[in-house]
Structures are given as structure tokens and as C-alpha cells.
Amino acid sequence: MSALFQIQSPGILSLLQDAGRYGQHTIGLTNGGPMDPIAYKWANRLLGNSDNATVIETTVGGLSLISHVNTQVAVTGANVSVKINGAPQAQWQTLAIVKDDVLELGFATQGCRIYLAVKDGFQVGTQFSSTSTVMREGVGGLTGKALTKGDVIHVLDRDASERISLLKLPEKQQPEYSNAITLRVIPGYQEHAFSRHDQRMFFYHEYTVSDLCDRMGYRLSGEKVNCNVQGILSEGIALGAIQIPKDGQPIILMNDRQTIGGYPKIGSVLSLDLAKLAQLTQGGKVRFEPITIDHAHNLLLLAQHKFENTVLEIIKPEQLINTKSGQSK
Amino acid sequence: MKIHVASENSLIVYFGEQVSQGISDDILRVSTFLSAHIGHELIDLVPSYASILVIFNPLKTDHLHVRKIIRKAKQSVPSLSQDGRTLETSNKTVQLPVYYGEEAGPDLSRLAVNAGLSIEQVIKLHQSIEYRVYAIGFAPGFAYLGEVDERIAAPRLSTPRKKVPKGAVAIADRQTAVYPAQSPGGWNLIGLCPTDMFNPHGDPIMPVSVGDKIQFIEINCEQFLKLGGQLPQGAIE
């Protein structure tokens, strides 16, 4: 049975996202998807959802919704206050929600991307095989745009008498968000168009996230990186590619990047670290460290292995969904 | 052919360093071969002027294996740029009507003055070439067409426009394109095309794909409106 969640306030920016849109680059569509895929994956895992379930990504915060349904939710990502009917709740765990509950997110105190997942995922039709919202393309979500006040999103109603366990990601496994991070870089693309000296400068200096940072890309400021070539024939841009325009200030290309472009690139950031970059706002500090592609593959496989083998804590076993109101429908 | 690492899950294959029909033919053939693997180890492809970005799933395969697939693709399609034969494919020629003129193309007169040509000559030169779709990207449905006559090639605007109307026909260096939707843009605008370049609900979604040929055909304002074109409200700034 289908029922609804209604947006009371979308906050700063709230977007429906699944794991992203893939296989559509040939018609010029970008990936979209969660900027912090690690927090996204945990939100779905806490609810036993599929890897591709649709969640709401809220940037900075301020989202509030009213539930017309009995279900469970989980809030992961940036540190933020979570309230149900005004009562404080924890992040990184399953929360029971009953009909007419109001769920409110405050504003992030550390990090900036917050993920709200619901049991079975938000029920949204796909466009080009994905529900991910890319505002620049007007594709995905409910209308190709950010969520607004009054929007209703379908979710599946769970039987109020269904017995559920509330789960939690053990505290030591929860990501910690920092304002100063090191990004591991796989050198590639036009790396040879940068002199050894310039490559060293790039990997030695600290850069600052500028005010030009959004879902398309993060523009950094700091030591100028010189390149021996000015422009190249437009070519495909990978997620995390580090573009060096004429002014020598690096731009790291994110989920909503354009699919092709003509600036030289020194390499690409490891996706595990892009998740950390996505949590930074203006003023955040970034350093770079080169790694090989083989090392990157090992790190990805290790991260996947750890994710799959993490045992979630059971905080309340076999509890009735509808404990708060004590009524069954 | 050179294969470089692009990211943790992609390799970029370079076929040359300049724009040429032969290289583009090779790219098309290799892309077609690689497409057969999408959904298995491969996630997506971005063919462009002289390269293909090959994106793979690093949890299912690795770059060494993908390199093998790419070499196999290259070996199994004969190199056309080397033996000079033309490509025999189902690539089509698409005719795109254009309403040229200063109302529709505010950069037309500047382009003409800079080239020492009349506006009519610029319009004629733009139609004189059967263009090829070299790449699709930047925005959904944005097809990079090449190459325009050197006489009407023009650099991008130093300050891009905040709003380029849907259907704008534009030139940047020796490339030309039709803006599929209203967007910011720095290309020189010379006209408007009433044909939808990207319709998410259409079949096909795009009238062109990489490798197709494009022929621009001049129409007047009345025909433009009749074909469903819409003039932008107010002058294009």
C-alpha cells in the first residue's frame, strides 16, 4: 500500500537521489547521485533497503516533513539535530515513524550533506533509468527540480503490527567529518603536461575550498598549478577529475559535472575521498596525495568488504512499529 | 592508440591529436564494439573528438582487463584512418532548419564584420558544409559539430551569456552546435533552429548521434514559427 510523506520545508536544498544515473553519457546526461555515497549507503543499509533506493539528500539542513504513514527512517551524513515531534533523535540508526509524525532536521554543525532514507526507499518514477535529480538538466526527482514545500512523495506503508528491530551503526564505524582532509589522487589524463616541479607543488601545498562549490564541482584556491598545454580537444570527464584551467586554480569535478570538457586534467580523486570533499564547505582545507590505480582498486575492494562485513547493533529487538501511539489501524 | 589512466574506474583512449573524419570513424567503430560490453564490466562510454573515456566497475574488473578489452576492440575493427577507406555504417544525414538573422543571431553582424564578409556570405558559408557529429556532451543533447569554414570560425565570448535561448545555433572556434535548452553559454549566436535536439519523452530522444551528418538549411521567420520554433521574449542580450 502506498502512502505519503509531505515536505513542510525543503531547507536549503533537498534533492531526491538514488545511487546515480549510469550508461547515459552518450546523450550527454551526467551521473547525479549522492555527493557522499558512503553516508548514502549506510542510510539504506540501516533500513535493509536495496543499494539503489531513493533517499533525500539535504545540503546544510532545514528539512522538515510530515509522515502520513507508519514506517522507519534513518538519518546519516553531516552532524545535525534530528527531531520527531520535537523530541531529539540519534543519527546513524533506524527510527520508527508513525502516521502524523513530524520529522525535522536542524542545520549541520560538521559536514554539509545529510541523507534521509525511508524503509523501501521513496517511491519515485525513474527517468533515464534513475531517480537522481540533476537540476541543471531538469531530470529526475519529482519534476527535475529541488523539493519544495507541499511536495508529496510516496512511500510504502508498513503494517502497524509488524515487528521490527531498530538498528544502529556502531559509533566507532560512523564517519567523522573534518574541515581539513587529504584527498588521494590517481594521476592520469594529461599528467605529463605538468612539469615535475608543478606536480610537486600541487602535491605539497594546501588548498582552500572557494565559494564556488556545488554539486557540479569544487573550485579550490591556493598555489597556482602551471600546465604546458592551454586547452585540449574536448574529452570525457571522469568523476573526481581535477581540472586545471588557465588561472591554475584546481577544480574537482563532482556528480553533476558536464560530461565532456577541454581543460587539462592532472588526475582524479579517489571516490572514497570525494565523499569527504562533498562534506566540505567554503573555507575547508584540502591536500593531495598521489596513489596508483592498483592501490585505488585495493582501497575500494577493502572498503566494500568492510561495509559488507560490518555488523549493525540491535538497539531495540522485536519492537512493535506502532509503539508510540499504541493504536493499530 | 594510447591508453591513459583517467580515474580509479576509467581509462581514456587517445586515437590522435587532431580532429579528423578518419579518427572519428575509428572512435565510432571501437565505441560500437565496446558498447556490447556495457552492463557487464563496463558502465559507460564517452566518445569525443579524438578519444573515448571508458568507465568500468572496479569491483567487478580492473584496469588491466579493461585495457585488454580495448586492445581487442581496436584489433577487431580495421583502422580506417590508416587505409583511407570510408566508413560504411548506418549513420544518417539529418537536415536542421535554421532561421538566420540578427533577431535570431545577435552575433551574426559582428562575425561578418570581423571576417570581412557580408551577413549573407556568413549564412551561406555556415550552410556550405555537411557537418559531422563529433561528440555529445556539455548538456543533454548538445552535439558538437565540425568543422566550420575557417573564415567564419570565431573564439568564444570573453564573458559568457547568462541566457542562451533554446535552439540557438552557435559557433565557437571551428565548431558549431544547436543549444538543446536555454542555458548559459559563451558561443557566438547566428540563428535559431526549431528542431528539438533533446526530448526526454521523444523516441528517439535526440535526432542525432555521434557519427551522423548534419546539413543546415535556411528558413525564414514564418517557416521557423510554423515548424514550432519560438522566438525568445525580448532581445537576446
Q: Is the pLDDT score of A329 beyond 60?
A: no
For residue A323, the model assigns a pLDDT of 46
Which chain A residues have a beta carbon less than 8 Å from that of B4? 188-189
Give the highest mean pLDDT range of A86-90, A318-322, B75-79.
A86-90
**For residue A327, what pLDDT band results from cuts at 50, 70 and 90?**
very low
Residue among A21, A22, A26, A194 with most chain B CBs within 10 A, to mutate: A26
Whole-angstrom Cα distance, residue A100 to residue A66?
6
Per-residue pLDDT, averaged over A237-241, amounts to 98
Please give the single-letter amino acid code of residue B199.
Answer: N
Q: Is the pLDDT score of B79 beyond 90?
A: no
Between chain A and chain B, how many beta carbons pairs sit less than 8 Å apart? 141
**For residue B40, what pLDDT band results from cuts at 50, 70 and 90?**
confident
Which chain A residues have a beta carbon less than 8 Å from that of B147? none
Per-residue pLDDT, averaged over B199-220, amounts to 92
Please list, in sequence order, all residues whose beta carbon lies within 8 angstroms of the beta carbon of residue A254, skipping any fewer than 6 positions away: A35, A214, A215, A216, A217, A218, A239, A240, A274, A277, A278
User: Which residues are B95's β-sheet partners?
Assistant: B215
Any CB–CB contact under 8 A between A20 and chain B? Answer: no
Does the ipTM exceed 0.90? yes
- Chain B residue whose CA is closest to A20: B43
Q: Is the pLDDT score of A325 beyond 50?
A: no
Residue among B2, B3, B4, B8 with most chain A CBs within 10 A, to mutate: B8
Cβ–Cβ under 8 Å, residues A57 and A18: no
At A14-37, the pLDDT tens digits run: 999 999 999 999 999 999 999 999
Q: Is the pLDDT score of A230 beyond 80?
A: no
Domain assignments of chain A as residue spans, ordered by start: 2-170+312-320, 180-305
Could you tell me which CATH number the domain at A180-305 has? 2.40.100.10
Are A260 and B48 a contacting pair at CB < 8 A?
yes
**For residue B134, what pLDDT band results from cuts at 50, 70 and 90?**
very high
For residue A224, the model assigns a pLDDT of 94
Which chain B residues have a beta carbon less than 8 Å from that of A52? none
Name the pTM for this structure.
Answer: 0.91
**Pick from A22, A271, A304: CB nearest B44:** A22
Per-residue pLDDT, averaged over A66-88, amounts to 96
**For residue A160, what pLDDT band results from cuts at 50, 70 and 90?**
low
Are B51 and A236 a contacting pair at CB < 8 A?
yes
Nearest alpha carbon to residue B101 among B227, B224, B228: B224
Per-residue pLDDT, averaged over A217-224, amounts to 96
**For residue B90, what pLDDT band results from cuts at 50, 70 and 90?**
low
* Top-confidence residue, A231 or A110: A110
Grouping H, G, I as helix, E, B as strand and the rest as coil, residue A124 is coil
Any CB–CB contact under 8 A between A230 and chain B? Answer: no
Q: Which domains does chain B have, with CATH numbers?
A: 2-83 (3.30.1360.40), 93-226 (2.40.100.10)
- Give the Cα-Cα-Cα angle A81, A86, A90 (nearest 5 degrees): 40
At A164-202, the pLDDT tens digits run: 789 999 999 999 999 999 999 999 999 999 999 999 999
Q: Where are the beta strands (DSSP E) in B48-92?
A: 51-56
